[in-house]
């Protein structure tokens, strides 16, 4: 299945987890992919792995919270591949020093707020800002943002992260509303617990067993599950789908929300 033949995609936060899985999925379906991440070496490894499988990819070191860096990401992508058709905004501030401090409202300070919002929300805004004109030039395109079930359920805590992802969900609807008539669709995926390599390292088998008991499916989610949904939303199979935030959470929000 080559739904992205002759298409160019940019994936942020693409050096691991959901971003890496999405980059691989889009490349396998024919897209030329720009692998964007702060970790230049890890991004290069993902691009090399895609090339080994016969795909086309470049690694671009980029900080989505810095607009000049975002401009350089688009310049490099256009120089390499000619344009932009698909954007997956997946970058997030998930370092231990940020997430570890995001515990309760009474503990929030400006430094924590800025560290989270500058990447999770402002970064998505910058990426959309520079993607949309290029997509319109090519007759349209598709943006898929990574929100979270934390955006509409407080059961998992992390108040600043949750607020940032609620902002991403709202941004998704704003972009779809303002640019839909110019051919730009915008949707978001809202993952639940997803077993990225980083996430697996944080839980022992007993804990994973307990977490698996909470979902309504036979297993916990994996990055490839989210990548499949992103690929659908970015493809012409979803041509009539826009302004939606779709949960991929094993059904937990059926009783958490």
Tokens of 148: 């979270």
Residues recognised as catalytic: 161
Whole-number Å distance between alpha carbons of 157 and 103: 7
Task: Please say whether the beta carbons of 90 and 11 come within 8 A.
Answer: yes
Kindly calculate the radius of gyration of the chain based on its CA atoms and give it in whole angstroms.
Answer: 17
* Calpha distance 74→137 (Å, rounded): 14
């Amino acid at each position: 299945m080559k739904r992205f033949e002759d298409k160019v995609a940019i994936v942020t936060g693409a050096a691991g987890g959901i971003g890496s899985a999405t980059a691989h999925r889009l490349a396998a379906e024919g897209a030329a992919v720009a692998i964007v991440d702060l970790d230049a070496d890890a991004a290069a490894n993902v691009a090399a792995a895609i090339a080994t499988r016969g795909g086309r990819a470049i690694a671009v070191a980029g900080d989505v919270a810095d607009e000049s860096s975002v401009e350089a990401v688009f310049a490099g992508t256009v120089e390499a591949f000619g344009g932009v058709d698909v954007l997956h905004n997946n970058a997030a501030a998930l370092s231990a020093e940020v997430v570890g401090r995001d515990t309760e409202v009474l503990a929030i300070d400006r430094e924590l707020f800025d560290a989270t919002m500058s990447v999770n929300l402002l970064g998505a805004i910058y990426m959309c800002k520079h993607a949309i004109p290029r997509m319109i030039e090519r007759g349209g395109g598709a943006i898929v943002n990574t929100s979270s079930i934390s955006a509409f359920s407080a059961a998992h805590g992390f108040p600043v992260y949750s607020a940032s992802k609620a902002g991403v969900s709202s941004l998704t609807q704003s972009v779809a509303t303002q640019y839909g008539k110019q051919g730009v669709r915008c949707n978001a995926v809202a993952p639940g617990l997803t077993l990225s390599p980083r996430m697996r390292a944080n839980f022992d088998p007993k804990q994973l067993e307990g977490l698996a008991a909470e979902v309504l499916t036979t297993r916990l989610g994996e990055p490839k599950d989210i990548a499949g949904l992103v690929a659908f939303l970015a493809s012409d199979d979803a041509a009539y789908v826009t302004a939606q935030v779709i949960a991929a959470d094993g059904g937990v929000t059926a009783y958490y929300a």
